[in-house]
Structure 1
């Protein structure tokens, strides 16, 4: 048990360090900010693939959404979930720090309490999301479930399905490939996977619970504890906000590409005149 937990504590920082060492030798023109950003995204994708795989295993193994058990539902959170969320707060801070350091901000010449508080202010929602998972998902998983609901823990693992697509989009932009077909196709996958696994998944879980007990979907929240509903809301609310931002970003990108395609035609017609 302890050696597996130790593996989870070191694996993500270890991968992050490896990527930070390897990437500059491949992309020599990248700044420290570029390297840290891509390293963070690669590690996030690895964790997301692990979490999604664990989620599929747990969900497919549970016929009864309340009573069926699978050991991964508990141990993945302890071995990899908590270590990753803790590591990722630090990795996001480093990405923030080097981004502003490269831009020449005087206060970012070295790490300080001021640079960390600036990070928390700018990335408050992301930090809150990570802390909420550490303070809500972990206690529920370990202490308050009474060994029930492994199916729903597996469903929560599946929320990570969209992360590799989000990370790939940022990496493609970093490589200057934001106009290629792969980036466009990946953008569609970001929206589909994000909506399906981070938003629609929550009504589905309420529906699955209601079907288990013969309760209509609108009545399910009234049969659950206030703490359960608030916990789901704390996880769901940032997802809705981020999805709206993704839709806006996709719409702006679509508009820019439309203008870029129309501008050559305008130029040609002007020359013809």
Structure 2
């Protein structure tokens, strides 16, 4: 277990450092904010791709949704834990350099800058901390070896993240009015809806299918904490999906006027 944790602690900060060096020397006109933002997105896309690959492997390997197990579950949770911690730091750096570019008087490392970052990105920070402090301990210590299939499904929720990162990078490259950006935006909406929202009724359906329970009756056959936990995870996904829809609508109206 410690090997997977150590590997993640080396890989993700190492990738972030490498991307910053490459981008800074390649795009010499970019600001530090541009370099850090794109580097963060690239690392995020790599982590999400690995999580999706692990999720697909686990889901397709588990025939019994409750008792079948796969070694990748615990190993990837440990491997990905340093990414969650590092990504909070990378998001803070992006916020810090963006404030500096915009000429904020408080654009230096301080409690005020940190509080401004937490105020702006509190949902993402809370999401990362919840994965580290709640999801990881539950997965590693409190499941009693049950439910690897469902953890694999949650890994697959990351499928939309690379496309979100690609969208941000295309904007950074000045390609936000291209067909590629519009197509990527459609893929973002579809993949986010399928893998972050529909995945929950899918998990309930798979549980009901195995035990011969109709979908609408499944919640009543599960412990209360399971339903509450799923709602806690689902709620921010719905919130972020609404934000994505609003952003897509704004872009559509802007391009229509143009």
Give yes or no for TM over 0.5: yes
Q: What is residue 207 of structure 1 aligned with on the other side?
A: 205
Contact kept in structure 2, 1:93 and 1:116, CA below 8 Å: yes
Structure 2, unpaired ranges of 5+:
none
Distance 2:5 2:132 in 1: 16
Question: How high is the TM-score relative to the length of structure 2?
Answer: 0.97
Q: Is the 8 A contact 1:136 1:231 kept in 2?
A: no
1:1-273 alignment runs, 5 A limit: 1-78=1-78, 80-108=79-107, 110-260=108-258
Contact 1:132 1:234 in 2 (8 A): no
Partner of 1:270: none
Q: Could you tell me whether the CA contact under 8 Å between 1:33 and 1:102 is conserved in 2?
A: yes
Give the 3-state SS of the residue equivalent to 2:159 in structure 1.
Answer: helix
Measure, in 1, the Cα distance between the counterparts of 2:231 and 2:143.
18
2:68 match: secondary structure: coil
Aligned mates of 1:100, 1:118 — CA distance in 2:
10
CA RMSD, Structure 1 to Structure 2 (Å): 1.1
Determine the C-alpha separation between the residues in 2 that align with 1:177 and 1:57.
Answer: 34
Q: For 1:93-146, what per-residue CA distance to the aligned partner results, in whole angstroms no more than 9, with x for missing partners?
A: 1111111111111111x2112211211111111111111112221122112211
Q: Deviations over 1:61-85 (max 9, x none)?
A: 111111111100111101x221111
Q: 1:224 to 1:136 in 2, by over 3 A?
A: farther
1:222 positional shift: 2.1
Q: Secondary structure of the residue that 1:63 maps to in structure 2? A: coil
Q: What TM-score do you get using the length of structure 1 for normalisation?
A: 0.92
C-alpha separation between the residues in 2 aligned to 1:18 and 1:232? 37
- SS of alignment partner, residue 67 of structure 1: coil
Gaps of 5+ in 1: 261-273
Q: How many residues align?
A: 258
Contact 1:58 1:72 in 2 (8 A): yes
- Greater CA deviation, 188-197 or 230-239? 230-239
Q: Is the 8 A contact 2:52 2:158 kept in 1?
A: yes
